[in-house]
Amino acid sequence: MRVGRSPTLKAEAAGRKAGRRDARSPGRGSGGGNGGRRPRRRRPLVRVVYWLTVLALWVGIIGGGAAAYVLFTVPDDALDLPQRERGLIVLAEDGRVLARRGTFRGDTVRTDELPSYLIDAVIATEDRRFYSHFGADPIGLLRALVANIREGEIVQGGSTITQQLAKNLFLEPDRTFTRKFQELVLAIWLEYRYSKDEILQLYLNRVYFGAGAWGIEAAARRYFGKSAREVTLPEAAVLAGLLKAPSRFAPTNNPELAEERAFLVLNGMVEAGYISPLEGQLAVDNPAALNLKPQDQAEQYVVDWITEILPGYVRVDDRTLIVHTTIDADLQKATGRVVRDVLDRKGEERDADQAAMVVLSPDGAVRALVGGRSYAQSQFNRAVKARRQPGSAFKPFVFLAALERGYSPDSIVVDRPVTVGKWRPANYNDKYYGEVTLQDALALSLNSVAAQLVLKVGPKAVASVAHRLGISSPLHHNASLALGTAEVGLIELTAAYAPFSNGGAGVLPHVIDRVTDDSGTVLYERRGSGPGQVVSADNVAAMNRMLAAVVTGGTGRAAALDGYPAAGKSGTSQDFRDAWFVGYTADYVAGVWVGNDSNRPMEKVTGGSLPAEIWHDVMTVAHADRAPKPLPGTDRTRPAEPFGIVDLLRSLPFGPSEARVRQPTETAENAGNFIERIRQSVR
């Protein structure tokens, strides 16, 4: 059915036509000064075009001015594309090379030398519209914005490969609007100056891939022991996946997360049409495997740590940096070997998977550092990053606080049950031994005495002493602090023992001594000696006397060095989850931790067993060519002799050799039984 016009509509149309004729005829109508004409009204489309033109002009003016401002505010040489030769060389104390990381001359690769699927993996993951945008991608930015709003968090980024290159080449890593705008303008400039393939090549040879690897070639060699020209599809997926968050997804840091990220990359390649679903599935079923160089072992924990902290010392830019460290290369290798060998021999039967060790000189310089049993299996640095309960290895701070309140090593304390609210710290098997000296209480690691001391001096005073000596981790102010229930790191706990070794001076553990560039210019050089005197000379002497008794006749007997004065303290956390031994001589301070990453209890591993054994073996190597030196405050050049109750143990008929068990327990069980036998004989 057609719709016709009504008479009324026809009349209205005729009237409008007549009106137009009248308006065109001069002198007609009844109008005023405009000849009877009505004012014209612009059509809506014309108005829209007009205002869009005005807006475009203003945007052009403002944008052009802003772009000019950006180009004037970047450094003068910023637009001269740097011929980057970024690299890092880490040297031991004697100048030997510990590691070479990063991009050096000859590491640059051309895109036409790389497998096509490696290029495709990067584009599919980082910037699918790379070959069609002008440096910025409005569509990609909008898509990322929608995805982030939908997820309620940042799950996608809107930066193109060109923008990332501009940031890496020219800008500081500031998260500001000005920096983002500079990045955008410079990205457009790069697109104007260089072809897409040149931009991609610059990007791949300069971007960071984690684990100290700058550039695709260095990354392929770092993770897979081969050139980037030879990587497989699964390996290419891992490398492309690193670009989003290099440290987080590094397979040397988190293999499971790296594999999950590679799976997402392969899915993206299938979605983008770069590979078939079958090719993607085959790559998923045959994931990439790490192929670290044989020498990439214990020393790599040190190199990783240096790579992380280096930006706090110097600006990491286009120069090749040479880091001169405090590491003793031979001792470093020996430490890694001992840690590995002891766990290989005894770890499985004692259900102990991991260990870490730090060796310092008395001034706090790191001479050796091992962050785990095997760097190839786990790159997590337990010596620097892990926080665990130290158990009785924390007690020296309790006893030092008591000395500062007037106690002495010969002060008599009563070993008896103690109750604080619902907390009842107990000795082994709930055995108590009555009157003992402060020295014997520390040598035998009597928990009830430590608890009484912390109640006498106050938990806050103990925490203050620990912080003063070098503990940087937060410490609670509960009475259980006496038994080491606050978590600390191995390197800070070891450094906190250093004042006993050096005569009372606090230290800051340090590994970087000097940083230069490849032309020899000194960019950083360590100066200063630390926080100064933190323990009085008298109290240093008293602590050395007590802690030497721990080694000669207490819970740390397995750590005793043949012919060399040493002191230290063992520690074991609840349920044998952590075992420690921290000790020192006049030449070195060293700490050992043994445990499981899962916090699983071990099979009765105490601080006086595996940790003391590791400590003993490493320190024996360290002192091989050194003459014996007395500990500060003592006059002996031979190992300290035990005192008090421990001295009585040595006077028993079966002699000192049998009294020194090879794997003493952390508790005072054995010593306690001996003490009771002595008392019965006296009766």
Active site residues: 126, 392
The whole-angstrom separation of Cα 500 and Cα 510 is 18
Q: What region does 35 belong to: left with phi over 0, alpha with psi -120 to 50, or beta?
A: left
Residues across the chain: 683
* Residue 463: other Cβ atoms inside 10 A: 21
Q: Which phi and psi (to 5°) does residue 559 adopt?
A: -90, -10
Contact predicate 402/423, CB 8 Å: no
Angle at 365 between CA 360 and CA 367, to 5 degrees: 55
Residue with tokens 């005005």: 54
Burial of 422 (0-12, 13-18, 19+ CB in 10 A): exposed
Sheet strands (E) in 92-146? 97-102
How far, in Å, CA of 537 to CA of 541, rounded? 6
Q: CA separation (Å) from 160 to 138, 144, 152, 184, 289? A: 10, 12, 22, 9, 30
The answer to whether residues 494 and 509 touch, using CB atoms and an 8 Å cutoff, is yes
CA 51 vs CA 56, 61, 265: distances in Å: 8, 15, 45
Report CA 278 to chain centroid distance, whole Å: 38
Q: Find, among 204, 308, 291, the residue nearest to 247 by Cα.
A: 308
HEC readout, 544-589: HHHHHHHHHHCCCHHHCECCECCEEEEEECHHHCEEEEEEECCCCE
- Which residue, 592, 590, 584, is CA-closest to 632? 584
- Write down the H helix ranges in 154-294: 161-170, 177-193, 196-206, 216-224, 233-242, 246-249, 255-271, 277-285
Could you tell me if 425 and 483 are in contact, meaning their C-beta atoms sit under 8 angstroms apart? yes
Helix 395-403 with 490-502: angle, nearest 10 deg: 40
Burial 18-46 (b: 16+ CB within 10 A, else e): eeeeeeeeeeeeeeeeeeeeeeeeeeeee
**Sequence-distant (≥ 6) Cβ neighbours of residue 168 within 8 angstroms:** 203, 206, 207, 208
CB atoms near residue 248 (< 10 Å): 13
